[in-house]
Structure 1
Amino acid sequence: MTRKDAISQIWYTRCPVPTPVGLATQLGLLDTAFAAEGITLNSIIDSKDRSIRSSHFDHHLDYSFRHGGNVPPVRARSEGNPTRLVGITWTDEFQAIITLPGTGIKTTRDLFGRRFGIARRPPGIVDFMAATALKGLVSALSLEGLAPSDVEIVDIPLSESVLDGREGPQLYGLRNRQAYGPEIAALLRGEVDAIYVKGTPGIAVANLFAAHMVAEFGFHPDPKIRINSGSPRVLTVDERLAQDRPDLVAKLIATLKQAGAWAEEHPDEVRRFVAREVGASEEVVAAANGPDLHKHLGIGLEPTLVEAIGHYKDFLHEWGFLASNFDIDTWVDHRPWAELDIRAVA
């Protein structure tokens, strides 16, 4: 086993969405917790080195953890990357199928025989946005007894991967490009009839273009309808960190639980912090995530949460987004939670 004092830094990353990792980072809880162990936290996604940034998607760095959308870590696991699933957060968000006025599409049943646009990125990094849109389409159609074969799926080809275009004048000084631009452009050109959008960028772009909402299901009572790339989101660590320093993984989880508990008592501050995290106004965050956002930034590893990830993993395999299938239970690592239970008893 690696000596405890051998680790001086840990890489971490999170998606620009509501997560307890994002909240704990903004509160300074993570830096404080790991500084007490003599460890510096380094952000993967903020690195200027493309090979390091790519670990946000393929989880290749040793001594690292990631919290965010589940498609990249599920894909990485299917490719054999040695990672462990140690926590899950379920924060529901706006999910919808939208169209432009004038298409004649009013309800989901009106999608029958119409063109549904899905942006497709170049090979290399798993196309998590395409997977998200497909699951949204399947969920929406299933509520009306329709199947994907009942619509015409039209690819919207993109030239850049998610690692490209993260700097330059086209960003106008912002960190990321606004999501759903290519999909909206295809709608405006009349190349497709409807698209899927989600979260704060989805609700913002739907508002900007006065889009007609064909179906909204981000808060549907059936969890299998809501399950998608961001519902729920996973906390994963690389195998070396899990094996060599389970105490640090337990410390990470304990710190995130602390952030989640803080969130429940500070709804207004949570909305403000999440707005900063996602690059949106507080009004948009409230509309996209609902009034109870502060109650859904906890973390757990209960069987129902694991089952939800397994359900989406099976969807990804069915639709060809995984290198191979795998047993979800072999990915889950309960050891840090057991250590937390031991600490609580002690």
Structure 2
Amino acid sequence: MPAISTGNVLMTGTNGFVGSWALKVFLESGFTVRAPVRSEGKASYLKKIFGAYNDKLEFVVIPDITKEGAFDSATVGVDAVVHIASPVTLDANHPDEWIIPAVNGTLGVLRSAAKVHSVQRVVYISSTAAVIDPTATGPRVYDENDWNEHDVGTCQREGRAAPQVVKYRASKTLAERSAWEFWKENKEKGVIGWDLVSLCPPWVFGPVIHKREGGPNDMNDSTKFIYEAVVKGQYSPVDLAFIDVRDFAQAILLAVTKPAAGGERFIVAAAPFRWEDLIITAHELSGGKTYPPVGSYNPDAPYMGRTNVAKAKALLGLEYRTQEETIKDLLKEYEERGWL
């Protein structure tokens, strides 16, 4: 079960919400990180906030990560690969506009890693979007054996008519499937020596350290949604579970460094939630500055979606921040930004 405790890591998506925190954790743990960016200008902000790690942080320009061989030179000499980058905008017309970039981007990274003998571990960031059953009508507990086949079928049947969120979830399922199929086929042939790990997080909340401009509505989706819920009382009924972004970054580090993680799929989640839970917690912690709780809410109602995270606990040793800790730090950030 190859793994590394130090060395060189190729990490995609470092300009994003999750990737910037993962970059921070890896640099603080002594790793050297090679970060692909679409242009030199995309590296300027990260160079500024991580200036103390100049000798440990290298940027490489890859304008199109879906292009064949895009990562060939970037993977040379690295010991591990962490693939976080993924299309995240809900404005696709045909499902293929989601699916093809997600699958090709993933396979492109893996094919390049397969050409390099130094690579010991590849970590692919998936999502519980690739796990859940959207047709579930009652309480359900999900584990790593579950796959969202329903949305893939919906996209195949309905094409352009499929809802945007269905197109997104199908892309996550198919991209992760393609990663596992590639790894298993090439591992059996003896073509590759590295192990694959996939992490499936649910909603990811927490403070922001990546480049941000404008107000809360200009943030990444999960940050925008939680702000709109706790400050404005506007939210979707879609919930499931959450993880603090700082804990998720730690999970990515553990997925690289823990030998027992090799060849495993993990759901990483702190706890189930409903948006009303977050509204209540924020209102209490803010001293009444955020949106008031809905009087008809039943806190004792069963959670419709739960996640079994025993595997991540046993093999990664992952610990999680509580909802209260995450909300407290978010409220502090809102105050500092003048958003409350």
Query: TM-score if structure 2 supplies the norm length?
Result: 0.32
Q: Which has the higher contact order (CA 8 A, sep 6+)?
A: 1
Query: TM-score if structure 1 supplies the norm length?
Result: 0.32
